[in-house]
Amino acid sequence: MSPTPLRLGVAGLGTVGTGVLRIVRQKANLLAARSGRPIEIVAVSARTRDKDRGVPLDPYAWEDDPVRLATRDDVDVFVELMGGSDGPAKAATEAALAAGKDVVTANKAMLAIHGQALAAQAEAEGRVIRFEAAVAGGIPVIKALTEGLAGNEITRVMGVMNGTCNYILTRMESAGLPYEEVFEEANALGYLEADPQLDVGGIDAGHKLSLLASIAFGTQVAFDDVELEGIGDVTIEDIRRAADMGFRIKLLGVAQMTGRGLEQRMAPCLVPAQSPLGQLEGGTNMVVLEGDHVGQIVLRGAGAGEGPTASAVMGDVMDIARGVRLSTFGQPAAELAAAKPAKAAMPAPFYLRMKLLDKPGALAKIATILGQSGISIDRMRQYRHDDTTAPILIVTHTTPRAALDEALTAMEGLDVVAEAPVAIRIESV
């Protein structure tokens, strides 16, 4: 007797959806051999039916309504690749679970906002939600946390999780171009979301960080508690000065549990240029996981694109085909603690860039304020100045952010500061 096929209904036939269709068509024998049963697509849904997607749709039933697709009797797994935190994606996912279907999704926004409720519904229905493709494209970081590192207490999750931002920052450095020019270049190349702020504002990466933090620390997803700062204020001067001091600037996500609560921040940071994160180029993603027994694990790979993301989708499909059943966030939804949010207060070194008026004693006034706030200077450089101002770069020793904020506020009242200082955290990696 031949094994029963696992039947998929795929909603959303954009880049990732068509990639899934290609894998299932081209790798049918390999998928069956590795999972122990055939994998079939029986029905699909998308906004437009007649668009040329480069793959034939004739073998599949068509549904205009993704909710109808999600509840078809001949669908075992609903594959949601439409995107959007609400609307059809959420409605179809809820309908699929209620109809007794498992769900595979790449929808980070939906899970970051509604993940707890959807996980509870899935468990009440005896179903699973898998979402490897929602975080870091083809990098199997969800599987690493829920399976490979399950015997560890995770101490920190950190990473570059938005390839568009990493492309912009590395392109600014390599070409010596300002942010605005590289932003327009990335937009012309199609790298930016329809709402670019999702990328450059850190929102997309913040969604991903909140999902990883939930798994890593056994907490309910708390995207609203992520401290977000985008890359729009990073200048070519910052990139050049940071490089001169041995650092590179990355949009870095960091989550860690402290005695005060869960810190989650997504913001530009300096990292050592020779570190794995510092050497990350272009649109590549990297996630660093730290556990009490395993130490540090570094996962690097393509963070977006048809092949990598479709690969992650199929990894989840294969687990379901093999009978692997895991709670959505690694443990039952009812056992996930409500995270107590904590602002990033862990001491760290900071990069300070400022422009001072070329007056006697100007630098001494800055040093005095830093000293009064308990901040010591590790390194300092003064660059070629014009007739009236002098650019100054300071790297502090480890200091609490609150002390730095106190010093920055005091500097605003000085008569020697020509421009508000720029402060960027230096992260140890």
Candidates 90, 208, 250, 355; catalytic one: 208
Angle between helices 15-26 and 28-35 (to 10 degrees): 80
- Check: CB of residue 363 under 8 Å from CB of residue 391: no
User: 289, 165, 282, 173: which is closest to 229 by C-alpha?
Assistant: 165
Residue that the structure tokens 């390839």 belong to: 163
- Residues 5, 39: Cα–Cα separation, whole Å: 6
Torsion of CA 152, 158, 162, 165, to 10 degrees: -170
Task: Count the Cβ atoms, other than its own, within 10 Å of residue 154.
Answer: 22
The residue count of the chain comes to 429
In a 13 Å sphere around the CA of 358, the CA atoms on its Cβ side amount to 10
In 3-state terms, what secondary structure has residue 195?
coil
- Residues 15, 18: Cα–Cα separation, whole Å: 6
User: 16, 204, 229: which is closest to 110 by C-alpha?
Assistant: 204
- Check: CB of residue 223 under 8 Å from CB of residue 159: no
- Check: CB of residue 80 under 8 Å from CB of residue 89: yes
Number of H helices, E strands in the chain: 14, 17
Known catalytic residue at 208 = yes
Catalytically active residues are: 208
